Amino acid sequence: MNNPEGPTTADKPVVEDGIPKTNRPVSSAVAEPDATTHRHEPHEPPRQHLPEKLYEKSETVHNKRIDGPFRRFKWFVMLVTLGIYYITPWLRWDRGPYAPDQAVLVDIANRRFYMFGIEIWPHEFYFVAGLLIMAGIGLFLVTSAVGRAWCGYACPQTVWTDLFQHIDRFVDGDRNARIRLDKAQWSPAKIARRGFKWSIYLVIAFLTGGAWILYFADAPTLVREFFAGEAPLVAYITVAILTMTTFTLGGFMREQVCIYMCPWPRIQSAMLDEKSLIVTYKDWRGEPRGSVKKAKKEPEKFGDCIDCLQCVAVCPTGIDIREGPQVGCITCALCIDACDKVMADIGRPRGLIDYATLEDCEREAAGEEPKPVWRTLLRPRTLVYFGVWGAIGLAMLFALGVRSHTELSASPDRNPPFMLMSDGSIRNSFTLKLRNMESRPREMEIAIEGLPGAVMWTDTIRREDAAPTQTIDVGPDQTRSVRAYVMVPAGTPATDFAFNLTSLDAQGEQDTAEARFTAPGDQS
């Protein structure tokens, strides 16, 4: 790749015809001093890309350490989300002797999904679909209410990137030390440091991939098998893939994932509007920028922003929030912490960069009182999302509450549809499926209704014992398939009838499967 600038000039803006050209954003104050007066017109700094370049080299973001309420909230969210991820597979839940005792288990081999007291069978997959729909609408809801809060705090990519950036800081020191080390020649010391850091990356990545598989099998058993080399091959492959993705995406790709790979920022930029709560630089207050010294000399000429670039230094995606809302901003609000700290230091009011809606910004710029933040949450769009989200949740809870743990289905043999027996009576065969969703064996009674003179036997009940009602044992947590033979005396016409299933226990749950008895000459 031919880069005409060469490495030495890469970081400096190339000034051509009075326009600074670089592949990195430049502070708008440097680029266009007069732009600050046209806030809501397109006045972004000219960030011309040199057309000769086919690609853009990604620059490592060395974000600076910062402390503040949002950083502490981010710590808290990180602790909770990582805690949920790593601890959940180890929680136990007693389901009796016939079912696994892992609280959350996606048992693909046995086609069961356990979540605490809830057990989902494949035919109830709509519960999982409903959960996914709720998760999707939940994202809409969150976006509508608090903008890209998911991106900034809870997205796994954000959480793990944050974790890895803390590792960077722990091993290599803060921003300046890391930049120095990055630029330094390769030396034994640098190799050792990098090796150490990447080993920590690998350990975290391995633990991440390792924890994932624990959701799909009994965690203690799988861990034992995994290290004894007895686990299924797919477990090792999964862990290897997830280790590599975590290592690469968390350790190296980081903000590139958010900016180039993830579809969600694109969807979100379509969902944000002037009423959305986003992290905003209040430029009418900040511009024009000037140092504290200059502002002391001519206070009326300069705004609050002293161009200290702290907001850029702490940004985990390496953007300049003062350029306005942009796809690279994940609204983690660390720049708010940084700016508030600076403002406190120089004795100016906080909130030069703050959570605000664009509408509020205009109102504030015009000198009106800003709306309290909770008011921005109560708007029709958010309420509609919340209504839909809540309705789906309630509907699912209701369905979960009233679902039966007993079910019967009957499918008739089509070939042949009926069978003439040697004594002239007519037999139909059905495959009955008796479902027992309880974690204990149950006796169930099947009775024929609406077919006079009919008797029934099955593949395990002998024909001599044929009767209109039969009792069948169904194992715990099982669908038992029974081949049932229903026989009627000669001359019985084709009739619709039903199998009635009753569980012979305290619950007495019932289900009915409708069927048709086919006889010679049946036209239907």
Partner 1 sequence: MANKHPDSRPVQPPAQPDTGGKRIDQPTGTETVGHEWDGIEELDTPMPRWWLCTLYATIVWGIVYVILYPAWPLLEKGTEGVLGWTSRGQLAEEMSLADQAQTSFREELSRIPIERLPDNSALMAQAVAGGRAAFKVNCVQCHGSGAAGSKGYPNLNDDDWLWGGDLKAIEYTLAHGIRQPGDDETRMSIMPAFDGVFEPAQREALVSHVLSLSGKGRSNSMGAQLYDENCVICHGPNGEGDRSLGAPQLNDAIWLYGSSRAEITRQILDPRMGMMPKWEHRLDPVTIKMLAAYAHSLGGGEDFVEVAEDPAVPVDEQP
Binding residues (CB under 8 A) for partner 1: these are 1, 16-19, 23, 31-32, 34-35, 41-49, 51, 53-58, 253, 256, 260, 413-416, 419-424, 427, 429, 459-460, 462-463, 483, 485, 490
How near is the Cβ of 498 to partner 1 at its closest, in Å?
A: 21
Tokens representing 73 are 């909230």
Cβ 93 to partner 1, closest distance in Å?
Answer: 31
Q: Can you give 200-227 as a three-state secondary structure string?
A: HHHHHHHHHHHHHHHHHCCHHHHHHHHH
| Nearer of residues 70 and 485 to partner 1, judged by Cβ | 485
Q: Which residue has the tokens 């009233």?
A: 402
The helix/strand/coil state of 143 is helix
Whole-angstrom distance, CA of residue 484 vs CA of residue 461? 9
In the complex, least distance from residue 17 CB atom to partner 1, rounded to whole angstroms: 5
Element (H, E) at 427: strand 426-436
Shortest distance in whole angstroms from residue 43 CB to partner 1:
7
Q: Which is nearer to partner 1, 4 or 372 (CB)?
A: 4
DSSP lists the bridge partners of residue 403 as none
Which residues are CB-contacts of 492 (< 8 A; sequence separation ≥ 6)?
426, 451, 452, 453, 454, 517, 519
Task: Give the residue from 391, 176, 360, 160 showing the smallest Cα distance to 273.
Answer: 360
To partner 1, the closest distance from the beta carbon of 190 in angstroms equals 22
Cα–Cα distance, 162 to 320 (Å, whole number):
18
CB 441 within 8 A of CB 473: yes
The answer to whether the CB of 332 falls within 8 A of the CB of 148 is: no
Cα gap 432→416, rounded to integer Å = 17
Closer residue to partner 1, CB minimum distance, 31 or 335: 31
Least CB distance to partner 1 at residue 325 (A): 12
CA 336 to chain centre: 26
Tell me which DSSP letter residue 223 carries. H
E-assigned strand segments in 314-361: 353-356
Reading the block at residue 466, the tokens are 């044929």
Q: How far is the CB of 47 from partner 1 (least distance, A)?
A: 4
CB burial readout 1-16, b (16+ within 10 A) else e: eeeebeeeeeeebeee
> CB count, 10 Å around CB of 303?
20
CB 480 within 8 A of CB 442: no
Give the whole-angstrom CA distance, residue 432 versus residue 408. Answer: 7
Rounded CA separation 317/331 (Å): 10
Specify the DSSP class assigned to residue 116: T
Closest CB to partner 1 among residues 348, 427: 427
- Least distance in angstroms from the C-beta of 25 to partner 1: 9
Q: Length of the chain, please?
A: 524
Least distance between partner 1 and beta carbon 405 (Å): 26
DSSP one-letter code for 467: B
Joined together, the tokens standing for residue 480 give 């038992």
Which CB sits closer to partner 1, 292 or 420?
Answer: 420
User: Between 58 and 495, whose beta carbon lies closer to partner 1?
Assistant: 58
Nearer to partner 1 by Cβ, of 203 and 261: the residue is: 261
With respect to partner 1, which residue has the nearer C-beta, 19 or 80? 19
CB closer to partner 1 out of 185 and 415: 415
- Kindly state the smallest distance separating residue 32's Cβ from partner 1, in Å: 6
Write down the least CB distance from residue 56 to partner 1, Å.
4
Least separation in angstroms between CB 13 and partner 1: 12
Pick the closer one to partner 1 by CB: 19 or 384. Answer: 19
Nearer to partner 1, 87 or 420 (CB): 420
The residue whose two tokens read 């890391």 is: 178
Q: With respect to partner 1, which residue has the nearer C-beta, 226 or 457? A: 457
Q: Do 396 and 124 meet the contact criterion of CB atoms below 8 Å apart? A: no
Least Å distance between CB 396 and partner 1? 37
In the complex with partner 1, which residue's Cβ is closer, 293 or 414?
414
Query: How many angstroms separate the first and last alpha carbons of the chain?
Result: 75
Secondary structure element (H or E) that encloses residue 432, with its range = strand 426-436
